[in-house]
Structure 1
Amino acid sequence: MNTDTRQPGTAHPHPAPQRHEVGRWWMWVCLALPPAVWFVQLTLANILTSQACYPSDMPLQEPRLDVLPWVVGCDLVVLVVAVAGGFVGWLNWRRTAGEKPGGGHHLLESGDGRTRFMAMSGMLTSGIVLVASIYAILSHLTVPWCGT
């Protein structure tokens, strides 16, 4: 197997020598899918909860709770997507383990190990969305919707 990571015609190795170990789509699954699904969840939850309190010109005394399963269902979908995105990021991280020696702090100091850095960023992004989805579930189940 050829272990030379230099670009043809150059004397420098490529900064992401293991870029072919991770598919482009798998990298985007952990980087972009959890935030995109979280955005959709925020939009749908806002629409559903506002309609539960203000279905017409006059606000209701009590919210319509028939939308609660839909809101919590959206929250759970985001939770599952965030966990899946974190798992895919972790798999990407493991596949590129030999790209650059050292841990995550070494990736921030140099431009080497780009694929590994993107995998780490995907894990962090998915983790942030996971925490946000847990807060959303807790707020939708515990905080009064209509300010009552």
Structure 2
Amino acid sequence: MADETEDTPRHPSEARHSVSWWRQGGGLLIAPLAWMTLLLVQFTIADFGCGRFNPFAPWLIALGIASILAGGIGGVVAWSVWRSTRHEAEGGEGEAIEVGEGRSRFFAITGLLSSGIFTTASLFTLLAVLMVPPC
């Protein structure tokens, strides 16, 4: 009789119990949600900046800095998930994306990419507040 372990398919996310769902979700979503919040608040109060003095300018700058920090935190969380699930499948980043094994690793690398992209977007949004006239 053949060995049953060879015929048993592997689960696509063997490390799913070693990392909590909120860490995976946090690493994936913190930076995009911070950037969306920054953009929403900035567009909401943009009308108030057309006078001589914009009373919300310090708040917009503080919110931009908070968004950049939140994106950095999301990146650190995603990196820690990546480190925690490195035993899930063989290979590096390329294999995690191409082969399809290691769903937890895939979420971690996607969270790293997402955090980098949206933290950069938050930085450019903050630079727009600082450099572009409000009207």
Q: Same fold (TM over 0.5)?
A: yes
Alignment partner of 1:49 is 2:38 = no
Identity of aligned residues (%): 32
Quote the residue 2:11 is aligned against: 14
Quote the residue 2:70 is aligned against: 81
Alignment partner of 1:97 is 2:86 = yes
> Could you tell me how far apart the structure 1 residues matched to 2:123 and 2:103 are?
30
Match of 1:108 among 97, 102, 107: 97
C-alpha contact (below 8 Å) 1:45/1:74 kept by paired residues: no
Q: TM-score, normalised by structure 2?
A: 0.90
Structure 2 portions without partners, runs of 5+: none
Count residues in correspondence: 130
Alignment partner of 1:143 is 2:115 = no
Q: TM-score, normalised by structure 1?
A: 0.82
Tell which structure's C-alpha radius of gyration is larger: 1
Quote the residue 1:57 is aligned against: none
Q: Which has the higher contact order (CA 8 A, sep 6+)?
A: 2
Cα deviations by residue, 1:81-125 (Å, 9 ceiling, x for unpaired): 100000000000000011111111111222211100100001111
Structure 1 portions without partners, runs of 5+: 1-5, 54-59
The residue type equivalent to 2:33 in the other structure is A
> Could you tell me how far apart the structure 2 residues matched to 1:97 and 1:143 are?
44
Quote the residue 1:28 is aligned against: 25
Alpha-carbon RMSD across the aligned residues, in angstroms, is 1.4
> Could you tell me how far apart the structure 1 residues matched to 2:8 and 2:44 are?
57
Q: Secondary structure at the match of 1:32?
A: helix
> Could you tell me how far apart the structure 1 residues matched to 2:25 and 2:97 are?
20
The residue type equivalent to 1:99 in the other structure is E
Deviating runs (4+, > 3 A) in structure 1?
A: none
Which of the two has greater helix per residue? 2
